[in-house]
């Protein structure tokens, strides 16, 4: 009750200070008038009576001030006065104003910009219904310290079937298809998923329908759902498309629906999906238990905690290990939130930047503190007079804090402007592969954060001046006036501030130095390949004119000849991918003897290549031989493995003549050679196990052509495209690039990091120097 | 406490409160006239008294204060407290 009346009173005083003032004025005047009347009644002259009444009453202003204090709005009142005073003072001292507001604007703006990025990527919900309940399920290997691997569909089916924690678990994976049409063929990114995946993620069709369970049964007609953007760009949002048939990699697919706008697969590989296809086999098929090629996403039941699900899954997984020891013995199971899975990779980097930019803010504050202290020395007399006139220490501190807050707020306003214009710049510089960049932007949280920063900054750079204000003695201050000289206050604090500024800037510089070093490590990358004279071209012969292995191989060979005939070309090779280009295609491989016994196998990246590939790239074949044109469909199936895979499959033994079996490429292949490892670009990464087989034994209508030139490869680019079109003008040339550019593209991310930290350091240095 | 007591008899304006205290205490107690107002504001804020605009006997507008229910309770508390204090002081003085 008392609380309420107090607050009502205060609120009134705050909202209508004028009315309160008037009332007080009036009642005090009334008091004095009454007193004077009384005195006059006693026979005193009116003039004298009023004077005495006034004297007896005391100084009205003093009592008014006391009364105002009792209103409890003194702080607000004072804040208004001080804020007005500060603005006036800033106008009088524009250099100080501009320098400090610019500095703060820079510091706070940079923080807000980075925060808006971190906020968008890390803190905002994933764009799916009830995202808290979405989880990622990974299979792990104990020797890989928690690296999240994709899962096998029968395992996922068993997790879903035996647990009660989940509403559903769906799987998906990326694939590539060639979409054929009257305008020619183009490669599209496809996503293969189970109907459960659609349910779990909450996807809905904009038109038509999404997958049903029947769609994934083998033997049923092929169906496809289109991405909204793809439908728009490729088919002009034609609603009549549903029910028609499109040709994907030579096979007809019926379009059954289009997803709603903005519905995208969860970003676990930074890929888009143009077309969505149903899984074309029964996910429970036990024969595929060893094919761990699928991302599994689950939706927890309402109210089910992650830990509960984790414990339940651990038991189920143990059961699966016992039932299928060959496939599961060496595997573990990891359950994380989908959010962690999506942003886990960039979390540390982002927090690192947030920390770095926080240092910049600290430097900014130290800087402002210094400026304020310098200015205070000339205001010591002002403060002294105020103290002498009765302003208590709290009042002076309040004034200093207000001055700081006004500065900080002005700086924040500028900072928001900087952040607002700077965030798009950041995004345009940011490399592809950072997840959720589309979710980055200004919002209430960023504004709140900025306001919080302003207050934090005020407190930070206010500490030193406050400490100083609490020590002001009016005597000394006034004496200072007489001697007419200002003393720089708090010399010691000043030193500390400068030292900490330099130290913080140094910390940033060290960070920048470390990043630069790891960056130059990328430049020192030596794959054992002569990078100077290499041209990479991707070409698609999926024009419809070439059907079957022979036709495709014939046009490939024609292309080889045309390119080799170019002056300045030393050799030409084909491959499905190579170091720094092409996709990552992994498969589960086993020594053939183990596959029969049922072992767990190894994940290996595979390539289909032409016989001249190793020679053209300059990769030494360490044992056995490379392919020859005779390794074709009429000859035994053969494979070349890299050192790492040879060592994985048959440690310490001779791999030549051994047989391997690859999950997705049914059939036994004989190892005929071992090729040298290519060290990965990232010096911290391990070498992937890799295997190669001849394109003549595994033919796809898309291939990269690697061209070794005598001199500078760039002038040849035009001729290379012309020669390809001489063979067939319908052949699509995708990318064409020299090897340096390929490397450059991969360095965008580390360069971006380095650039960012360099900018921070530069800002820090400038600030520390001011 | 004195202000509360005076107001418990009848609502008064500021000057009236001063006069009443002087009158009742037979000029023994002199209220510092100016300081009365901050005190009145304080009491209002506590919710013990309430102010309203009224007319004096000679038809002049003045701000009157009256005791609230919370103020009556507070008066009892303070009066009891004062009684105890006064009695204690009296006992000490009597023994000396």
A186 beta partners: A179
Residue A264 or residue A764, greater confidence: A264
- Give tens-digit pLDDT for A147-161: 777 888 899 999 999
Contact B14 A30 (CB under 8 A): yes
A428: left (phi over 0), alpha (psi -120 to 50) or beta: alpha
- How far is the alpha carbon of A47 from chain B, nearest alpha carbon, in Å? 19
**Residue A483 pLDDT > 50, yes or no?**
no
Range with lowest mean pLDDT among A64-78, A85-99, A247-261, A491-505: A64-78
Q: Which residue of A has its CA nearest to B35?
A: A63
CA angle, A213 as apex, A208 and A218 as ends, to 5°? 110
Instruction: Kindly report which listed range (A7-11, A657-661, B81-85) carries the lowest average pLDDT score.
Output: A7-11
The CA distance from A653 to A492, in Å, is 72
Q: What is the pLDDT of residue A145?
A: 64
- The angle that helices A74-92 and A94-118 make with each other, rounded to 10 degrees, is 110
Assess whether pLDDT exceeds 70 at residue A438: no
**Yes or no, beta carbons of B38 and A24 under 8 Å apart:** no
Residue B81: CB partners within 8 Å, gap ≥ 6?
none
Region A105-117 average pLDDT: 84
C-alpha to C-alpha distance for A335 and A315, rounded to whole angstroms: 13
pLDDT > 90: what percent of chain A?
A: 21
- Contact state of B13 with A30 under an 8 Å Cβ cutoff: yes
CA dist B85 and B73 (Å) reads 19
Residue A559 pLDDT > 90: yes
DSSP state string for A484-500: T----S-HHHHHHHHHH
**Partner residue opposite B41 with nearest CB, options A31, A62, A67:** A67
> Taking CB atoms and an 8 Å limit, are B45 and A34 in contact across chains?
no
Mean pLDDT of chain A: 82
pLDDT at A123: 80
Residue A659 burial (10 A CB sphere; 0-12, 13-18, 19+): middle
Write out the DSSP string of A428-465: HHSPTT-TTGGG----HHHHHHHHHHHHHHHHHHHHHH
pLDDT digits (tens, 9 = 90+) for A327-340: 787 788 889 898 88
As a whole number of angstroms, the distance between CA A171 and CA A201 comes to 11
Q: Which helix (H) or strand (E) holds A177?
A: strand A166-180
Dump the DSSP string for chain B. Answer: -HHHHHHHHS-EEHHHHHHHHHHHTTTSS---HHHHHHHHHHHHHHTSEEEEEEE-TTS-EEEEEEE-HHHHHHHHHHHHHHHHHHHHHHHHHHH-
For the segment A627-654, the average pLDDT, to the nearest whole number, is 92
pLDDT of residue A607: 93
Name A2's Cβ contacts closer than 8 Å, sequence gap at least 6. B46, B47, B70
A357 or A435: which carries more pLDDT confidence? A357
> pLDDT for A272-301, tens place per residue?
788 998 887 778 877 778 777 788 999 999
Integer Cα distance of A652 and A670 in angstroms:
18
CB atoms within 10 A of CB A308: 15
pLDDT at B26 over 80: no
Q: Number of residue pairs across A and B with CB atoms under 8 Å?
A: 76
Q: What is the pLDDT of residue A266?
A: 83
Q: What is the pTM of this model?
A: 0.60
Residues contacting residue A287 through CB under 8 Å, at least 6 positions apart = none
Give the Cα-Cα-Cα angle A320, A147, A121 (nearest 5 degrees).
Answer: 120
pLDDT tens digits for A448-462? 888 888 888 888 877
Of residues A217 and A612, which shows the higher confidence score? A612
Q: What percent of chain A has pLDDT over 70?
A: 88
Residue pLDDT, tens place only, A506-532: 777 787 777 777 777 777 777 778 788
Of the pLDDT bands very low, low, confident and very high (cuts 50, 70, 90), residue A143 is low
ipTM above 0.85?
A: no
- Say yes or no to pLDDT of A573 above 80: yes
Q: What is the pLDDT of residue A548?
A: 84
Residue A406, H or E segment: helix A393-429
For chain B, the C-alpha Rg in angstroms (whole number) is 15
- For residue A641, the model assigns a pLDDT of 95
Subunit contact B33:A57, Cβ cutoff 8 A? yes
Angle A2-15/A17-41 helices, nearest 10 degrees? 90
Average pLDDT of span B57-75: 83
Q: If pLDDT is split at 50, 70 and 90, which confidence band does B72 have?
A: confident
CB-based contact B46 A6, cutoff 8 Å = yes
Segment (H or E) for A667: strand A665-675
In this structure, of A325-339, A666-680, B29-43, the range with the lowest mean pLDDT score is B29-43
Burial of A102 (0-12, 13-18, 19+ CB in 10 A): middle
Which of A53-57, A62-66, B83-87 is least confident?
A62-66
Say yes or no to pLDDT of B63 above 50: yes
Q: Is the per-residue pLDDT at A268 higher than 70?
A: no
Tallying the residues shown for chain B, one arrives at 96
Choose from A44-58, A557-571, B16-30, B48-62 the range with maximum mean pLDDT. A557-571
Question: Which residues on B lie below 8 Å from A66 (Cβ)?
Answer: 35, 37-38
Higher pLDDT, A43 or A720: A720
A581 secondary structure, DSSP code: B
Which of B11, B22, B45, B59 has the most A C-beta neighbours within 10 Å, making it the best mutation to test the interface with A? B45
Phi and psi at residue A750, to the nearest 5°: -60, -35
Name which of B9, B23, B52 is nearest A38 in CA terms. Answer: B23
* Chain B residues touching chain A at CB-CB below 8 Å: 13-15, 18-19, 32-35, 37-38, 41-42, 44-47, 51, 60-63, 70
Q: Between the CA of residue A139 and those of A142, A327, A727, what are the distances in Å?
A: 10, 12, 47
Between positions 54 and 73 of A, the ones with CB within 8 A of B are 56-60, 62-64, 66-67, 69-72
Query: What is the least distance, in Å, from the CA of A493 to any CA of chain B?
Result: 42
A14 band by pLDDT with thresholds 50, 70 and 90: low
What is the structure's pLDDT at B11? 84
Distances (CA, A) of A15 to A21, A65, A77, A82, A303: 12, 18, 11, 18, 46
Show Cβ contacts of residue A475 under 8 Å, excluding neighbours closer than 6 positions. Answer: A384
A37-41, A63-67, A514-518, A697-701: which is most confident: A697-701
* Model confidence pLDDT, tens digit, residues A69-101: 666 655 666 777 778 888 887 888 888 888 888
Q: Can you list the positions of beta strands (E) in A239-289?
A: 245-248, 251-259, 275-278
Band the pLDDT of A599: cuts 50, 70, 90.
low
A contacts of B61 (beta carbons < 8 Å): 26
Which of residues 714 through 733 in chain A touch B, CB cutoff 8 A? none
């Amino acid at each position: 009750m008392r609380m309420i009346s107090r607050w009502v009173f205060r609120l009134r005083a705050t909202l209508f200070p004028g009315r309160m003032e008037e009332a007080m004025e009036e009642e005090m005047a009334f008091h004095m008038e009454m007193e004077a009347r009384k005195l006059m009644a006693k026979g005193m002259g009116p003039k004298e009576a009023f004077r005495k009444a006034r004297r007896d009453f005391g100084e009205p202003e003093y009592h008014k001030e006391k009364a105002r204090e009792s209103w409890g709005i003194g702080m607000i009142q004072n804040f208004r006065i001080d804020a007005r005073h500060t603005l006036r003072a800033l106008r009088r001292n524009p250099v100080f104003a501009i320098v400090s507001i610019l500095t703060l604007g820079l510091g706070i703006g940079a923080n807000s910009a980075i925060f808006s990025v971190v906020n968008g990527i890390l803190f905002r919900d994933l764009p799916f219904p009830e995202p808290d309940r979405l989880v990622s399920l990974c299979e792990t290997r104990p020797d890989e310290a928690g690296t999240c691997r994709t899962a096998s569909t029968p395992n996922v089916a068993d997790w879903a079937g035996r647990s009660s924690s989940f509403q559903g678990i769906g799987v998906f994976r990326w694939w590539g298809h060639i979409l054929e049409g009257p305008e020619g063929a183009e490669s599209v990114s496809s996503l293969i998923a189970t109907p459960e995946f659609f349910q779990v993620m909450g996807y809905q069709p904009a038109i038509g329908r999404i997958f049903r369970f029947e769609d994934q049964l083998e033997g049923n007609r092929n169906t496809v759902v289109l991405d909204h953007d793809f439908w728009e760009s490729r088919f002009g949002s034609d609603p009549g498309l549903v029910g028609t048939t499109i040709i994907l990699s030579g096979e007809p697919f019926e379009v059954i629906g289009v997803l709603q706008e903005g519905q995208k697969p969860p970003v676990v590989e930074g890929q888009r999906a143009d077309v969505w296809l149903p899984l074309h086999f029964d996910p429970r098929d036990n024969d595929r238990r060893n094919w761990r090629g699928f991302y599994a996403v689950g939706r927890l039941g309402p109210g089910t905690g992650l830990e509960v699900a984790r414990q339940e899954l651990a038991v189920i997984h143990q059961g699966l290990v016992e039932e299928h020891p060959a496939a599961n013995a060496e595997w573990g199971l990891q359950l994380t939130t989908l959010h962690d899975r999506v942003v886990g990779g960039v979390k540390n980097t982002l927090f690192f930047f947030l920390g770095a930019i926080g240092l910049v803010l600290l430097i900014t504050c130290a800087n402002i503190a210094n400026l304020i202290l310098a200015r205070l020395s000339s205001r010591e007399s002002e403060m002294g007079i105020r103290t002498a006139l009765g302003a208590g220490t709290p009042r002076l501190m309040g004034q200093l804090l207000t001055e700081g807050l006004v500065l900080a707020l002005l700086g924040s306003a500028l900072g928001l402007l900087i952040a607002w214009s700077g965030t798009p710049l950041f995004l345009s510089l940011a490399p592809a592969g950072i997840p959720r960049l589309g979710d980055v932007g200004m919002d209430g949280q960023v504004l709140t954060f900025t306001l919080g920063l302003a207050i934090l900054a005020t407190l930070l750079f206010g500490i030193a001046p406050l400490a100083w204000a609490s020590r002001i003695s009016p005597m000394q201050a006034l004496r200072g006036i007489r001697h007419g000289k200002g003393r720089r206050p708090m010399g010691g604090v000043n030193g500390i501030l400068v030292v900490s500024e330099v130290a913080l800037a140094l910390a940033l510089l060290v960070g920048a130095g470390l990043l630069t070093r790891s960056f130059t490590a990328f430049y020192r990358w030596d794959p054992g390949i002569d990078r100077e004279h290499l041209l990479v071209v991707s070409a698609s012969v999926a024009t419809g004119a070439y059907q079957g292995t022979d036709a495709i191989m014939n046009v490939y060979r024609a292309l080889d000849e045309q390119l080799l005939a170019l002056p300045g070309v030393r050799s030409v090779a084909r491959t499905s991918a190579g170091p720094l280009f092409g996709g990552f295609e992994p498969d589960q491989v086993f020594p053939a003897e183990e596959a029969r016994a049922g072992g767990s196998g190894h994940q290996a990246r595979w390539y289909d290549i032409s016989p001249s590939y190793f020679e053209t790239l300059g990769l030494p074949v360490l044992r056995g031989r490379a392919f020859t044109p005779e390794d074709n469909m009429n000859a035994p199936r053969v494979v070349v493995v890299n050192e790492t895979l040879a060592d994985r499959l048959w440690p310490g033994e001779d791999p030549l003549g051994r047989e391997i079996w690859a999950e997705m490429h049914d059939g036994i292949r004989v190892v005929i050679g071992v090729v040298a490892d290519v060290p990965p670009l990232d010096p911290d990464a391990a070498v992937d196990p890799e295997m190669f087989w001849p394109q003549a034994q595994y033919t796809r209508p898309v291939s990269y052509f690697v061209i070794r030139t005598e001199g500078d490869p760039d002038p040849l680019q035009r001729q290379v495209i012309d020669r390809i079109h001489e063979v067939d003008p319908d052949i699509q040339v995708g990318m064409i690039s020299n090897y340096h550019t390929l490397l450059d593209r991969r360095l965008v991310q580390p360069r971006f990091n380095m650039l960012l930290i360099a900018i921070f350091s530069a800002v820090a240095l400038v600030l520390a120097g001011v | 406490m004195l202000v509360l007591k005076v107001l418990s008899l009848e609502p008064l304006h500021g000057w009236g409160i001063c006069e009443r205290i002087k009158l009742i205490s037979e000029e023994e107690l002199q209220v510092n006239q100016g300081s009365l107002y901050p005190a009145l504001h304080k009491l209002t804020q506590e919710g013990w008294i309430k102010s309203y605009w009224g007319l004096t006997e000679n038809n002049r507008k003045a701000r009157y204060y009256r005791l609230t229910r919370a103020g009556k309770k507070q008066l009892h508390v303070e009066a009891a407290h004062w009684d105890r204090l006064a009695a204690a002081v009296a006992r000490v003085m009597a023994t000396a």
